Amino acid sequence: MALDTLDSAAKRGVLAMQEYALLSGRALSNLFRRPFYAADIFQQADIIGVGSLPIVIMTGFFLGGVLALQSSSTLTQFGATAFTGQLVSFSMIKEIGPVVTALMVSGRNASGMASELGSMMVTEQIDAMRALGTDPLKKLVMPRIVATMVMLFFLTILSDAVGILGGGLVSVMMMGQDGSQYFHNAYQSLEYPDILQGLVKPIVFGFIIATIGCYYGMKTRGGTQGVGRSTTQAVVWSSMLIIVMDFIISRFMIGIFGR
Amino acid sequence: MSQVGANGSSGPIPGQSAAGRDEPVVVFENVSMAFGPTPVLEDLSFTVRRGQTRILLGPAGVGKSVLLKLVNGLLRPTHGRIFVFGHEISAMKEQELFEVRGAIGTVFQEGALFDSLTVRDNVGYRLIEEHLPDEEITRRVTEALRFVELEHTLEKFPSELSGGMRRRVAIARAIVTNPRLILYDSPTAGLDPITSTTIIELVMKQRDVSHTSSLVVTHRLQDAFILAMHRFSVETNGMVPLPAHQADEHTSFLMLNQGRLVFDGTTAELVKSNDPFIQAYLS
């Protein structure tokens, strides 16, 4: 009995992986096939990118600030408060900026995609779209993937910048440190592999957010309750995958570049 | 794309056929459909010919909507072959199906209108996708909405319309591109009798004015017999009954029971059937 349950759970898992891979692959292959739905990409970029600006700026700023606050109190014990800028910029660009921005965008947009597409599924709007001769993977999924990947890339850069600025303000105004020293350290200590790591992550995370959000949306069954379930699962799985992929990318990059 | 017809000959490209009335538009050959281990439809074979209206009757949950979804390729059969306009759609890829679906209009059970688009954009969805000029889209959408007598709702959203109006907008969306085949999935389900009659009158109007082939799913006998025993009069812009004991010659019936086709014939044959299930269903 227990084996049967395990067996069916494993089959469901493999089937879900297969469906997810197929959806992602087919949506991406549509990128190079007409029609391009450029207007839909711009619309999604506006919703995902511009719409997420306030939360990304707020979280980035305060995370930078709290990093400076926490690290400077530790660094003071070793007489190394001058390295606050380096620590904040390192942390923001390589880890906290990409991960927290992705988690914020995931909470806001993976749920939005799952609920929007899920509602369309349960009200037969997706079937209607297919019946009207439009591929929903091309019209609905592909623009969301492209827009999320592109916008998360820029949102992360913005979050990094605002975070370093927030750290700087805390260091100068609350810790009494020298501003030019903070920013000089923050800038000078960075190398290209650090920047590369910080820029590769949002592209991968953007793909995860959009594909997971769309996947759960497109497999929604069971009315409004099903929509709620899909929304929750989309946020949980995308957040979890972001953290897992963050570890894998970090390990991979450190393996290649040694930092 | 497979274009071999049911008879083995090359099929026509949708919208370009010049064949006569007997040309099969939809052909089901021993089609079965199952969801997991549960069979829904078993060994169905029937034909819808050009200009024909076939009314699909059966109790709720018997697989009528599944059958319609098989016709436009939204679902694939587990066994058997389905031909639409001569194309074997059961063997076509999803990308190829979009072209065939362009010649099929579908009216979904609840309308399935896009709730974030206006009535104009809903009805003109296919025209917008084809990048037609705005003026032409508005003209054709207004024309289709006039057919269902809702041209004043152009800028409204589906949520601002009643259930019956939404169903009429769905019909306008299905006919705006002058399809060769229309699939109606319980177009009167959940509507009051007066609104139901209005919807059936529109189905009849499309049948008698445009002579479009159609497959009408319903479990309401009253709607089915109104459709079979009336014709649409252009002069009076309404339906008129056919002479006593006469039925529309292009309208015939299919009946499903427990996933199997238990009847395929004319109105007279249906009424005279000795099958106990059919008699019980009609009584």
For the cut 70, the answer to whether the pLDDT of residue A158 exceeds it is yes
Query: How far apart are alpha carbons A133 and A125 in whole angstroms?
Result: 13
For the cut 60, the answer to whether the pLDDT of residue A125 exceeds it is yes
Q: Assess A132–B contact: CB distance below 8 Å, yes or no.
A: yes
Q: Which helix (H) or strand (E) holds B88?
A: strand B87-88
pLDDT at res. A199: 94
pLDDT exceeding 90 applies to what percent of chain B?
50
User: How confident is residue B151, by pLDDT bands cut at 50, 70 and 90?
Assistant: confident
Q: Are A68 and A175 spatial neighbours (Cβ–Cβ below 8 Å)?
A: yes
Task: Calculate mean pLDDT across residues B214-242.
Answer: 89
Would you state the structure tokens that stand for residue A106, as one six-digit string? Answer: 């995931």
For the cut 90, the answer to whether the pLDDT of residue A120 exceeds it is yes
Task: Calculate mean pLDDT across residues A83-105.
Answer: 93
For the cut 50, the answer to whether the pLDDT of residue B232 exceeds it is yes
Handedness of CA B163, B188, B196, B84 (dihedral sign): positive
Query: How far apart are alpha carbons B190 and B196 in whole angstroms?
Result: 9
Q: Assess B37–A contact: CB distance below 8 Å, yes or no.
A: no
Query: How far apart are alpha carbons B115 and B175 in whole angstroms?
Result: 19
Query: In residues, how long is chain B?
Result: 283
Q: What is the pTM of this model?
A: 0.85
Question: Can you say how many angstroms the Cα of residue A18 is from the centroid of all Cα atoms in its chain?
Answer: 22
pLDDT at res. B14: 42
Say which amino acid occupies B86: G
Q: What's the pLDDT tens digit per position in A159-177? A: 999 999 999 999 999 888 8
B98 vs A124, A127, A133: nearest CB? A133
Q: What's the pLDDT tens digit per position in A1-39? A: 677 788 888 988 999 999 999 999 888 888 887 778 899
* B 150-169 → A contacts, CB under 8 A: none
* A 8-47 → B contacts, CB under 8 A: 35
Chain A hits for B74, CB-CB cut-off 8 Å, are 127, 130-131
Say which amino acid occupies A197: Q
Contact state of B74 with A127 under an 8 Å Cβ cutoff: yes
pLDDT at res. B124: 94
Query: How far apart are alpha carbons A91 and A66 in whole angstroms?
Result: 12
Nearest to B266 by CA among B235, B214, B228, B239: B228
For the cut 80, the answer to whether the pLDDT of residue B163 exceeds it is yes
DSSP letter, residue B210: I
pLDDT at res. A1: 63
Contact state of B101 with A130 under an 8 Å Cβ cutoff: yes
Q: Assess B35–A contact: CB distance below 8 Å, yes or no.
A: no
Q: Are A194 and A258 spatial neighbours (Cβ–Cβ below 8 Å)?
A: no
Its ipTM equals 0.82
* Beta carbons within 8 Å of A93's beta carbon, 6+ residues apart: A160, A190, A194, A195, A197, A198
R_g of chain B, CA atoms, integer Å: 18
Task: Calculate mean pLDDT across residues B16-27.
Answer: 69
Q: What's the pLDDT tens digit per position in A87-97? A: 999 999 999 99
